[in-house]
Amino acid sequence: MASFEQATRVVAAGDGRWTADLDPEWTVGGRPHGGYLLAVLARAVLAAAHEHPHPLSASAIYASSPAVGPATVAVEVVRRGRRASQVRARLAQQDSVLVDVGFVTGALEPETTERWSDNPPPPVAPIEDCTRIATEPMGGGFRLPMLGRVGLHLDAESMKPGSADLRGWLTLDDGSPFDALSLLYAADAFPPATLPLGSVGWVPTLELTCYVRAIPALGPLRVRQRARVITGGLVDQVCEIWDSHDRVVVQATQLASARMPDA
């Protein structure tokens, strides 16, 4: 089985294009996971804007879900700057653009201290007291193979009916530390915060924006994902992640479709 680094590998194909082989292990219901796709595109972007080693932000539109297997990433450097560059990347299969992302790239310091934050880490039960989500959490043949590659540990208190504020921990099973690229995956790794409210079926992401704030210290990531407003069949979710030094390392917001039971 491929590590996250291997699963997000891209190969230069010339003329601003890269090829990727979307890995079947990083999927949900047979389709590549949205955060995983964001990391694949980011690898191509960093190869093109090589003067900046890290993604600082990413804003993705998911037009359609790609299939596992070969895909092409087209990269356009919109602006090269001294401290940051703006880059656009599009993932396509069979000449159809499926994911379109605008990135800002730059360089994160290895060790940073927050000058100010209004967002302290939330209380979460110790990881050993949380429930690790299985690859078939709902049974019935619906599989999340990526949960055989990452440890997603949910605090049972946050899963109580009527809540929309999930909390827990995230680890990589191969023991590798999280970095700026895998944080893009982490920002979309948790289940929908609408589940304790009774949402049914798939909750597909329509748009996802991530801010990578720091390179994480070693150790599991503390994750909080919450729903803010559900209306018109759409939910906006906020995900915030802290490292073992209690620093915010990535923030994300997303707009997703959500089917709720009839009132």
Q: What is the pLDDT of residues 90-129, one digit of tens each?
A: 999 999 999 999 999 999 987 788 888 888 899 999 999 9
Q: In this structure, are 64 and 9 located in the same domain?
A: yes
Tell me how far apart the alpha carbons of residues 245 and 241 are, in angstroms, rounded to a whole number: 11
Cα–Cα distance measured from residue 89 to residue 206, given in angstroms and rounded to the nearest whole number: 17
Backbone angles phi, psi at 150, to 5 degrees: -130, 155
Number of structural domains found in the chain: 2
- What range defines the domain where residue 232 resides? 129-257
Dump pLDDT digits (tens) for 166-205: 999 999 998 889 999 999 999 999 999 999 998 877 788 9
**Quick check: 200 and 261 in contact, CB under 8 A?**
yes
Which CATH number does the domain housing residue 15 bear?
Answer: 2.40.160.210
d(CA 167, CA 72): 35
The tokens for 153 are 């540990």
> Same domain for 80 and 172?
no
Q: Which of 182, 195, 190 is nearest to 224 (CA)?
A: 190
CA 137, distance to chain mean position in Å, is: 19
Q: Is 113 contained in some domain?
A: no
Q: What is the pTM of this model?
A: 0.94
Same domain, 213 and 158: yes
**DSSP one-letter string for 27-41:** EETTEE-HHHHHHHH
Cα of first residue to Cα of last residue in the chain, in angstroms, is 44
Give me 61's structure tokens: 């539109």
